[in-house]
Amino acid sequence: MGVILCKHCMTVIDTIDSEKVTTYYSDCHELECFEKRARQSSQAADSSESSD
Ligand SMILES: [Zn+2]
């Protein structure tokens, strides 16, 4: 069985009927996943600005 994971949050997006165990990475396109990434990148920007 193959599985498709979101490369950002590791959510299982879909499974594939295959003889080999395969893992594919894609994007889940969930709003929650997108917002989490957006928050993380803005936090990184904030911490570099307010480091004095
Ligand atoms: Zn995701």
Per-residue pLDDT tens over the stretch 1-52 = 999 999 999 999 999 999 999 999 999 999 999 999 999 888 776 665 555 6
Q: Measure 8 CA to ligand 1 centroid, in angstroms.
A: 5
Tally of CB atoms within 10 A around 49: 8
Q: Measure 25 CA to ligand 1 centroid, in angstroms.
A: 10
Tally of CB atoms within 10 A around 10: 10
Q: Measure 30 CA to ligand 1 centroid, in angstroms.
A: 6
Structural domain boundaries in the chain: 2-49
Q: Measure 3 CA to ligand 1 centroid, in angstroms.
A: 14
Tally of CB atoms within 10 A around 12: 10
CA-to-CA separations, 32 to 7, 14, 51, in angstroms, rounded? 14, 18, 29
pLDDT at residue 48 in the model: 59
pLDDT at residue 42 in the model: 84
Q: Measure 37 CA to ligand 1 centroid, in angstroms.
A: 9
Rounded to a whole number of angstroms, the distance between the first and last alpha carbons of the chain is 52
pLDDT at residue 49 in the model: 59
